Amino acid sequence: MVSVAEASSIVFAHLFGPSVETVGLPDAINKVLAEKVMADRDFPPFDRVSMDGMAIRFEAWEAGRREFFIEDTQAAGVRQKHLKDVQNCLEVMTGAVLPKGTDTVIPYEAIGIKNGSAAVLTNDLTKGQNIHGQGNDAKNGDVLLEPGLLLSPAEIALLAAVGKSQVQVFSFPRTAVVSSGDELVEVEAKPEPHQIRRSNTFAIQAAMKTLGWEGTAFHLMDNKEQMVETMKKIAETFKVIMLSGGVSKGKFDFVPSVLEEIGVTKLFHTVNQRPGKPFWFGVSKKGVTVFALPGNPVSTYMCFYRYIKPWLLKSVGVKNDSLVARLAKDFSFTGGLTYFLQVAVKDEDGKLMAYPIPGGGSGDFANLKNVTGFLELPEDRSAFVAGELFPYIPFRNIV
């Protein structure tokens, strides 16, 4: 048996070597950037008018001029015009190139227009106002984005702006999600009294999907020979295998021996934690990573978010800030192991308060709908006081 800290460091010592794929811009959302992205021009690419109004030469105003004949209009999307007479002005639109010979934009609000001339109605003018200067945000060649960034809509806009209609992103490993157990039937089935429907693979596949990761589902009956045969085939095709069930001490818990038989080396089996104690982890000579998770829904779920999700994100270089939350009510349990307490975290006056929702144990996934994540309570204690801070593993955003 290993501790949670040992289990983590073993898992994180076996990251996968990600490959890179090219996707179209709209498909890059929520993917992890695999290339450096540079500005292909200055941003803004020209001195950009940022208010609708009149562009003047500041020195004329400074010299006392208050009325400016409007020479022309500079619209957005039109080549740069130039001010012919420094005593005049050009009408300019937001997004337009600042006309040559002008250096200051007076907004409509501060102007009266009559007979083709603009009278300035303010005495408060600053040279260069209402101009978003060329290269102010970024210079041509500047690195705008680094690999390992989880792409949000803001970055999608940035990629569009620098002309990246195709983007290099990391591709996640081909993954099998394997349930096991004779008691499990399909979702569509009407279960016999002693049977239940498969649900873990759906939860894992859905959790993967939220990370832009695909999983292919399989099911194994509790028959060792058949399991060896099927698992051999799966291990030939997939780089990652997540199993649920069959890893405990029961007579028909064949998963550990099946995995060793097909050449997967055990790196640990059983972690000093609740839920999820029977968690098994190993790697094959051919580089297949195997997470064999306990079959109880809450255990499966906790192990995915505590070990597998950070393993995936670390593998592609995503810097993942860890969160802490404050226990909102006293909590105690027998101690001696790391306890992953089901909590509902709320933002109360800017503080992340974690309300315990202990539920009916690792099989009680009906309880999870009220839960936002797990609070990780350390193994060396048994009583925990309201107000204390502990690591928080969210599985649901508190939007």
Q: Of the two residues 53 and 282, which places its CB atom closer to a second copy in the complex?
A: 53
Closest CA to 281 of 309, 301, 303: 303
For 264, phi and psi rounded to 5 degrees?
A: -95, 120
Beta carbons of 213 and 312 less than 8 angstroms apart: yes
What does the block give as tokens for 334?
């027998």
The window from 64-72, 93-101, 231-239, 284-292 that contacts a second copy (CB under 8 A) reads: 93-101
* Interactions with a second copy, residue window 253-282 (CB under 8 A): 253
Span near a second copy by CB under 8 A; candidates 2-10, 57-65, 194-202, 229-237:
194-202
Distance CA 237, CA 248 (A): 26
Half-sphere exposure for 145 (CA within 13 Å, toward CB): 26
For position 94 contacting a second copy by CB under 8 A, the verdict is: yes
Q: Which range in 181-189, 226-234, 261-269, 279-287 contacts a second copy by CB under 8 A?
A: 181-189
- DSSP 8-state symbol, 168: E
Provide, rounded to whole angstroms, the least separation between the CB of residue 313 and a second copy: 8
* Contact between 129 and a second copy per CB under 8 A: no
Answer yes or no whether residue 238 interacts with a second copy by CB under 8 A: no
Q: Letter for the amino acid at 154?
A: A
b (16+ CB within 10 A) / e for 295-319:
bbbbbbbbbbbbbbbbbbbbbbbbe
200 interacts with a second copy by CB under 8 A = yes
297 makes contact with a second copy (CB under 8 A): yes
Q: Assess 396 for contact with a second copy (CB under 8 A).
A: yes
* CA 116 to chain centroid: 54
Choose which of 4, 44, 172, 337 interacts with a second copy (CB under 8 A): 44
Q: Which of 54, 56, 60, 156 binds a second copy (CB under 8 A)?
A: 156
84: its two tokens: 């012919």
Q: Which two tokens stand for residue 115?
A: 């007979």
- Which member of 10, 110, 144, 283 binds a second copy (CB under 8 A)? 144
Q: Which is nearer to a second copy, 5 or 324 (CB)?
A: 324
- Determine if 368 is a binding residue for a second copy (CB under 8 A): yes
Smaller CB distance to a second copy: residue 288 or 345? Answer: 345
- Provide the 8-state DSSP code for 336: S
CA distances in angstroms from 95 to 50, 83, 102, listed in the order given: 6, 18, 15
251 lies in the binding site for a second copy (CB under 8 A): yes
- Residues 338/277, Cβ–Cβ less than 8 Å: no
Question: Considering only residues 310-339, where is the footprint of a second copy by CB under 8 A?
Answer: 313, 320-321, 323-326
Q: Is 12 in the site for a second copy (CB under 8 A)?
A: no
Stretch that binds a second copy, among 54-62, 225-233, 255-263, 293-301 (CB under 8 A): 293-301
Q: Choose, by CB under 8 A, the member of 195, 257, 265, 332 that binds a second copy.
A: 195
Q: Note whether 55 and 49 are within 8 A (CB).
A: yes
Would you count residue 389 as binding a second copy (CB under 8 A)?
Answer: yes
Strands 175-180 and 215-220: parallel
